[in-house]
Protein backbone atom coordinates (compact mmCIF):
# COMPACT_ATOMS: atom_id res chain seq x y z
CA UNK A 1 0.00 0.00 0.00
CA UNK A 2 1.31 3.43 -0.95
CA UNK A 3 0.01 6.80 0.14
CA UNK A 4 1.67 9.00 -2.48
CA UNK A 5 -1.60 10.50 -3.70
CA UNK A 6 -2.36 12.15 -0.34
CA UNK A 7 -1.65 15.88 -0.23
CA UNK A 8 -3.29 17.27 2.91
CA UNK A 9 -2.43 14.27 5.08
CA UNK A 10 1.11 13.24 5.94
CA UNK A 11 1.27 9.49 6.32
CA UNK A 12 4.23 7.68 7.87
CA UNK A 13 4.72 4.01 8.76
CA UNK A 14 7.15 3.37 11.59
CA UNK A 15 7.45 -0.22 12.83
CA UNK A 16 3.94 -1.07 11.61
CA UNK A 17 2.40 1.98 13.30
CA UNK A 18 0.78 4.29 10.73
CA UNK A 19 0.70 7.94 11.79
CA UNK A 20 -1.83 10.04 9.89
CA UNK A 21 -1.16 13.74 10.39
CA UNK A 22 -3.57 16.41 9.18
CA UNK A 23 -1.01 18.68 7.61
CA UNK A 24 -2.33 22.15 6.91
CA UNK A 25 -1.06 23.94 10.05
CA UNK A 26 -1.29 27.40 8.48
CA UNK A 27 -5.10 27.10 8.72
CA UNK A 28 -5.11 25.05 11.93
CA UNK A 29 -5.83 21.89 9.93
CA UNK A 30 -9.32 23.11 9.07
CA UNK A 31 -10.85 20.53 6.78
CA UNK A 32 -11.34 21.69 3.21
CA UNK A 33 -12.62 19.80 0.20
CA UNK A 34 -9.38 17.95 -0.55
CA UNK A 35 -8.73 16.93 3.05
CA UNK A 36 -12.32 15.74 3.41
CA UNK A 37 -11.92 13.54 0.34
CA UNK A 38 -8.69 12.12 1.73
CA UNK A 39 -10.15 11.47 5.18
CA UNK A 40 -12.96 9.52 3.53
CA UNK A 41 -10.37 7.19 1.95
CA UNK A 42 -7.38 6.97 4.27
CA UNK A 43 -8.88 4.62 6.89
CA UNK A 44 -9.98 2.28 4.11
CA UNK A 45 -6.43 2.20 2.77
CA UNK A 46 -4.96 1.77 6.25
CA UNK A 47 -7.35 -1.09 7.00
CA UNK A 48 -6.18 -2.91 3.88
CA UNK A 49 -2.48 -2.23 4.45
CA UNK A 50 -0.87 -5.53 5.49
CA UNK A 51 2.14 -3.62 6.84
CA UNK A 52 0.08 -1.72 9.44
CA UNK A 53 -1.04 -2.96 12.87
CA UNK A 54 -2.13 0.28 14.50
CA UNK A 55 -3.05 3.86 13.52
CA UNK A 56 -2.35 7.19 15.24
CA UNK A 57 -4.32 10.25 14.11
CA UNK A 58 -2.97 13.71 14.93
CA UNK A 59 -2.54 17.26 13.62
CA UNK A 60 0.50 19.26 12.56
CA UNK A 61 1.26 22.47 14.44
CA UNK A 62 -0.74 23.92 17.29
CA UNK A 63 -4.17 22.46 16.45
CA UNK A 64 -5.59 19.00 15.93
CA UNK A 65 -8.26 20.38 13.59
CA UNK A 66 -10.28 23.59 13.66
CA UNK A 67 -13.22 21.95 11.89
CA UNK A 68 -14.55 22.93 8.47
CA UNK A 69 -12.84 25.41 6.17
CA UNK A 70 -14.97 28.52 5.66
CA UNK A 71 -14.33 28.87 1.91
CA UNK A 72 -15.41 25.27 1.43
CA UNK A 73 -18.60 26.05 3.35
CA UNK A 74 -19.39 28.83 0.88
CA UNK A 75 -18.82 26.45 -2.03
CA UNK A 76 -21.30 24.00 -0.50
CA UNK A 77 -23.87 26.78 -0.31
CA UNK A 78 -23.29 27.98 -3.86
CA UNK A 79 -22.74 24.82 -5.92
CA UNK A 80 -25.51 22.36 -6.70
CA UNK A 81 -24.60 18.89 -5.48
CA UNK A 82 -21.59 20.00 -3.45
CA UNK A 83 -23.15 19.19 -0.09
CA UNK A 84 -24.45 15.87 -1.41
CA UNK A 85 -20.85 14.85 -2.16
CA UNK A 86 -19.72 16.11 1.24
CA UNK A 87 -22.44 14.14 3.05
CA UNK A 88 -21.47 10.92 1.27
CA UNK A 89 -17.84 11.46 2.26
CA UNK A 90 -18.81 12.28 5.83
CA UNK A 91 -20.66 9.01 6.09
CA UNK A 92 -17.62 7.15 4.74
CA UNK A 93 -15.31 8.83 7.25
CA UNK A 94 -17.36 7.61 10.21
CA UNK A 95 -17.99 4.11 8.94
CA UNK A 96 -14.43 3.59 7.69
CA UNK A 97 -13.19 4.37 11.21
CA UNK A 98 -15.75 2.06 12.81
CA UNK A 99 -15.10 -0.72 10.29
CA UNK A 100 -11.31 -0.57 10.59
CA UNK A 101 -10.20 -3.52 12.74
CA UNK A 102 -6.90 -1.89 13.61
CA UNK A 103 -6.91 0.27 16.74
CA UNK A 104 -7.04 4.01 15.99
CA UNK A 105 -5.49 6.26 18.64
CA UNK A 106 -6.19 10.00 18.68
CA UNK A 107 -3.26 12.20 19.67
CA UNK A 108 -5.04 15.52 20.16
CA UNK A 109 -2.14 17.98 20.17
CA UNK A 110 -4.35 21.10 20.14
CA UNK A 111 -7.94 22.24 19.74
CA UNK A 112 -10.36 19.81 18.08
CA UNK A 113 -13.51 21.53 16.85
CA UNK A 114 -16.49 20.40 14.79
CA UNK A 115 -15.38 17.70 12.39
CA UNK A 116 -12.06 17.72 14.24
CA UNK A 117 -13.88 16.65 17.39
CA UNK A 118 -15.81 14.00 15.46
CA UNK A 119 -12.57 12.56 14.12
CA UNK A 120 -11.04 12.45 17.59
CA UNK A 121 -14.08 10.98 19.31
CA UNK A 122 -14.55 8.17 16.79
CA UNK A 123 -11.01 7.00 17.51
CA UNK A 124 -10.77 4.05 19.88
CA UNK A 125 -8.65 5.73 22.56
CA UNK A 126 -8.15 9.49 22.87
CA UNK A 127 -5.13 11.22 24.40
CA UNK A 128 -5.17 15.02 24.48
CA UNK A 129 -2.88 17.80 25.55
CA UNK A 130 -4.09 19.54 28.69
CA UNK A 131 -3.94 22.76 26.67
CA UNK A 132 -6.41 21.45 24.08
CA UNK A 133 -10.12 22.13 23.96
CA UNK A 134 -12.68 19.87 22.34
CA UNK A 135 -16.11 20.85 21.10
CA UNK A 136 -18.63 20.66 18.29
CA UNK A 137 -19.61 24.24 17.42
CA UNK A 138 -21.61 23.38 14.30
CA UNK A 139 -24.45 25.51 15.63
CA UNK A 140 -22.08 28.49 15.85
CA UNK A 141 -21.98 28.50 12.04
CA UNK A 142 -25.68 27.73 11.67
CA UNK A 143 -25.10 24.04 10.98
CA UNK A 144 -26.66 20.90 12.40
CA UNK A 145 -24.06 18.64 14.05
CA UNK A 146 -24.71 16.04 11.39
CA UNK A 147 -21.29 14.58 10.61
CA UNK A 148 -21.21 12.22 13.58
CA UNK A 149 -21.61 14.36 16.68
CA UNK A 150 -25.22 13.26 17.20
CA UNK A 151 -24.01 9.64 17.22
CA UNK A 152 -20.93 9.69 19.41
CA UNK A 153 -21.41 12.45 22.01
CA UNK A 154 -24.42 10.85 23.80
CA UNK A 155 -22.60 7.52 23.98
CA UNK A 156 -19.64 9.11 25.75
CA UNK A 157 -21.23 11.62 28.13
CA UNK A 158 -24.98 10.90 28.10
CA UNK A 159 -27.87 12.62 26.38
CA UNK A 160 -28.26 15.62 28.70
CA UNK A 161 -24.62 16.71 28.52
CA UNK A 162 -24.40 15.89 24.80
CA UNK A 163 -27.40 18.07 24.00
CA UNK A 164 -26.01 20.89 26.14
CA UNK A 165 -22.72 20.96 24.26
CA UNK A 166 -24.16 20.28 20.80
CA UNK A 167 -26.79 23.02 21.19
CA UNK A 168 -24.34 25.61 22.54
CA UNK A 169 -21.18 24.64 20.66
CA UNK A 170 -19.15 25.33 23.80
CA UNK A 171 -15.56 24.11 23.79
CA UNK A 172 -14.49 21.89 26.69
CA UNK A 173 -10.98 22.01 28.20
CA UNK A 174 -9.28 18.63 27.83
CA UNK A 175 -8.94 18.05 31.58
CA UNK A 176 -12.68 18.55 32.03
CA UNK A 177 -13.37 16.40 28.96
CA UNK A 178 -11.38 13.56 30.51
CA UNK A 179 -13.16 13.92 33.84
CA UNK A 180 -16.58 13.61 32.20
CA UNK A 181 -15.52 10.66 30.02
CA UNK A 182 -15.55 12.42 26.66
CA UNK A 183 -11.89 11.47 26.14
CA UNK A 184 -9.61 8.96 27.85
CA UNK A 185 -6.62 11.01 28.99
CA UNK A 186 -5.55 14.66 29.30
CA UNK A 187 -1.78 14.97 29.75
CA UNK A 188 0.80 17.77 29.71
CA UNK A 189 1.69 18.71 26.14
CA UNK A 190 5.35 17.83 26.62
CA UNK A 191 4.33 14.33 27.73
CA UNK A 192 1.76 13.68 24.99
CA UNK A 193 4.07 11.93 22.51
CA UNK A 194 5.56 9.71 25.20
CA UNK A 195 2.18 8.74 26.63
CA UNK A 196 0.83 7.83 23.20
CA UNK A 197 4.01 5.94 22.32
CA UNK A 198 3.80 3.95 25.55
CA UNK A 199 0.18 3.02 24.92
CA UNK A 200 0.94 2.05 21.33
CA UNK A 201 3.81 -0.13 22.52
CA UNK A 202 1.52 -1.83 25.03
CA UNK A 203 -0.99 -2.71 22.32
CA UNK A 204 1.75 -3.81 19.93
CA UNK A 205 3.00 -6.29 22.54
CA UNK A 206 -0.50 -7.67 23.02
CA UNK A 207 -2.44 -10.37 21.18
CA UNK A 208 -3.20 -8.37 18.05
CA UNK A 209 -6.11 -10.43 16.77
CA UNK A 210 -7.79 -10.51 20.17
CA UNK A 211 -7.37 -6.74 20.47
CA UNK A 212 -8.75 -6.10 16.99
CA UNK A 213 -11.72 -8.36 17.41
CA UNK A 214 -12.50 -6.93 20.84
CA UNK A 215 -12.68 -3.52 19.19
CA UNK A 216 -15.00 -4.87 16.53
CA UNK A 217 -17.24 -6.48 19.14
CA UNK A 218 -17.65 -3.16 20.94
CA UNK A 219 -18.23 -1.35 17.65
CA UNK A 220 -21.21 -3.52 16.70
CA UNK A 221 -23.60 -1.39 18.73
CA UNK A 222 -21.89 1.84 17.65
CA UNK A 223 -22.30 0.88 13.98
CA UNK A 224 -25.95 0.05 14.55
CA UNK A 225 -26.45 3.48 16.09
CA UNK A 226 -24.53 5.18 13.31
CA UNK A 227 -26.63 3.40 10.68
CA UNK A 228 -29.80 4.55 12.42
CA UNK A 229 -28.71 8.16 12.89
CA UNK A 230 -26.17 9.29 10.25
CA UNK A 231 -28.45 9.52 7.21
CA UNK A 232 -31.03 11.57 9.10
CA UNK A 233 -28.49 13.85 10.78
CA UNK A 234 -26.65 14.47 7.51
CA UNK A 235 -29.97 15.24 5.80
CA UNK A 236 -30.80 17.76 8.53
CA UNK A 237 -27.34 19.27 8.15
CA UNK A 238 -28.04 19.58 4.41
CA UNK A 239 -31.21 21.51 5.22
CA UNK A 240 -29.28 23.82 7.53
CA UNK A 241 -26.75 24.40 4.74
CA UNK A 242 -29.42 26.40 2.90
CA UNK A 243 -30.56 28.55 5.81
CA UNK A 244 -30.04 32.29 6.06
CA UNK A 245 -28.42 31.82 9.47
CA UNK A 246 -25.71 29.60 8.01
CA UNK A 247 -24.92 32.11 5.28
CA UNK A 248 -24.84 34.86 7.91
CA UNK A 249 -22.35 32.85 9.97
CA UNK A 250 -20.09 32.36 6.95
CA UNK A 251 -20.29 36.07 6.15
CA UNK A 252 -19.55 37.00 9.75
CA UNK A 253 -16.50 34.75 9.87
CA UNK A 254 -15.11 36.37 6.72
CA UNK A 255 -15.83 39.85 8.07
CA UNK A 256 -14.36 39.03 11.52
CA UNK A 257 -17.52 39.90 13.43
CA UNK A 258 -20.13 38.09 15.48
CA UNK A 259 -23.05 36.64 13.49
CA UNK A 260 -26.54 38.01 13.96
CA UNK A 261 -28.92 35.08 13.72
CA UNK A 262 -32.57 35.57 12.77
CA UNK A 263 -33.83 31.99 13.00
CA UNK A 264 -34.29 31.74 9.24
Which pLDDT does position 198 carry in this prediction? 98
Summarize pLDDT for 226-251 with one digit per residue, the tens: 999 999 999 999 999 999 999 999 99
Whether the pTM exceeds 0.85: the reply is yes
Q: What angle do CA 215, 7, 76 make, to 5 degrees?
A: 85
Strands 185-187 and 125-129: parallel
Which pLDDT does position 205 carry in this prediction? 98
Which pLDDT does position 64 carry in this prediction? 98
Region of residue 67 (left: phi > 0; alpha: psi -120 to 50; beta: else)? left
State the distance between the two ends of the chain, measured CA to CA, in whole angstroms.
48
> What does each C-alpha distance from 11 to 22, 39, 42, 193 come to in angstroms?
9, 12, 9, 17
Residue 83 has pLDDT above 90, yes or no: yes
Q: What number is the average pLDDT over the span 7-14?
A: 98
Residue 167 has pLDDT above 90, yes or no: yes
Task: Please answer whether residues 43 and 79 qualify as being in contact, where contact means their C-beta atoms are separated by less than 8 angstroms.
Answer: no
Virtual CA dihedral for 111, 187, 175, 152, nearest 10 degrees?
60
Q: What number is the average pLDDT over the span 207-224?
A: 98
Strands 133-135 and 111-113: parallel
Which pLDDT does position 12 carry in this prediction? 98
Mean pLDDT of the chain: 97
Question: What is the pLDDT confidence band of residue 1, given thresholds at 50, 70 and 90?
Answer: confident
Which CATH number among 3.30.70.360, 3.40.50.1400, 3.90.226.10, 3.30.565.10 corresponds to the domain 9-191?
3.90.226.10
- Give which of 57, 156, 72 is closest to 108, Cα–Cα: 57
Summarize pLDDT for 98-110 with one digit per residue, the tens: 999 999 999 999 9
Which pLDDT does position 159 carry in this prediction? 98
For the stretch 85-112, what's the b/e string if a residue is b when 16 or more beta carbons lie within 10 angstroms of its beta carbon?
ebbebbbbbbbbbbebebbbbbbbbbbb
Strand order in the sheet with 125-129: 9-14, 17-22, 54-59, 104-108, 125-129, 185-187
Question: What is the pLDDT confidence band of residue 10, given thresholds at 50, 70 and 90?
Answer: very high
The domain limits of the chain are: 9-191
Summarize pLDDT for 128-151 with one digit per residue, the tens: 999 999 999 999 999 999 999 999
Which pLDDT does position 217 carry in this prediction? 98
Task: Please answer whether residues 181 and 121 qualify as being in contact, where contact means their C-beta atoms are separated by less than 8 angstroms.
Answer: no
Which pLDDT does position 169 carry in this prediction? 98
Residue 31 has pLDDT above 90, yes or no: yes
Which pLDDT does position 34 carry in this prediction? 98
Task: Please answer whether residues 101 and 83 qualify as being in contact, where contact means their C-beta atoms are separated by less than 8 angstroms.
Answer: no
Strands 9-14 and 17-22: antiparallel
Q: What number is the average pLDDT over the span 44-68?
A: 98
CA distance linking residue 62 with residue 111, whole number of Å: 8
Amino acid sequence: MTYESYRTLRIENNDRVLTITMNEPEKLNAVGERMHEELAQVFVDAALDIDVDLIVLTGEGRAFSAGGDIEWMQKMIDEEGAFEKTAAEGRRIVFSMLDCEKPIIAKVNGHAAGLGATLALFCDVIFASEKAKIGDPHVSVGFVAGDGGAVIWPQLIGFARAKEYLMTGDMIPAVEAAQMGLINHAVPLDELDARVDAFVEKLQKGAKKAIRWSKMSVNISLKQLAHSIMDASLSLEALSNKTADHQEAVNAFREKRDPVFTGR
